[in-house]
Amino acid sequence: MQRINVAEVAPQAYQAVLGLEKYVRANVGHTVLELVKLRASMLNGCAFCVDMHSRDALAAGESDRRLFAVAAWREAPFFDERERTALALTDAVTRLGEHGVPDDVWDAAAKVWSEKELADLLMAIATINVWNRIAVTCRTDLPVEA
């Protein structure tokens, strides 16, 4: 059962996060954005977001095989270098530990993404992590039918 609806209880805060969402949608390629959203949501155990972003990606033409492989992306041959570095950065930022994002992860991403693209990618990862934390904490209900 859903605990609280943040959009209703704190609409200004919700709109602020939605502003970040609109920014990343306009500045990060759709395919990479959906992969990042799906991966972070898997790591965070956010069923609502895993459901939403897998459906969104499928509707946009992403293959089910690639989507299923996001769970084991390191071993899957389906992702190009930019996607792989985006997924690695997503893992590191989402699981942010005591020592932060490792230099090798950042350096690999910086080789294939411009500074602006990296900044936008980082904002996308941060934004989906905010959404995940809201949805998991609030126990946001999954739609019965998609």
22-59, pLDDT tens digit by residue?
Answer: 999 999 999 999 999 999 999 999 999 999 999 999 99
The reported pTM is 0.94
CA 110/CA 11 separation, integer angstroms: 36
Instruction: Please answer whether residues 69 and 76 qualify as being in contact, where contact means their C-beta atoms are separated by less than 8 angstroms.
Output: yes
CA 76/CA 64 separation, integer angstroms: 13
CA 136/CA 11 separation, integer angstroms: 18
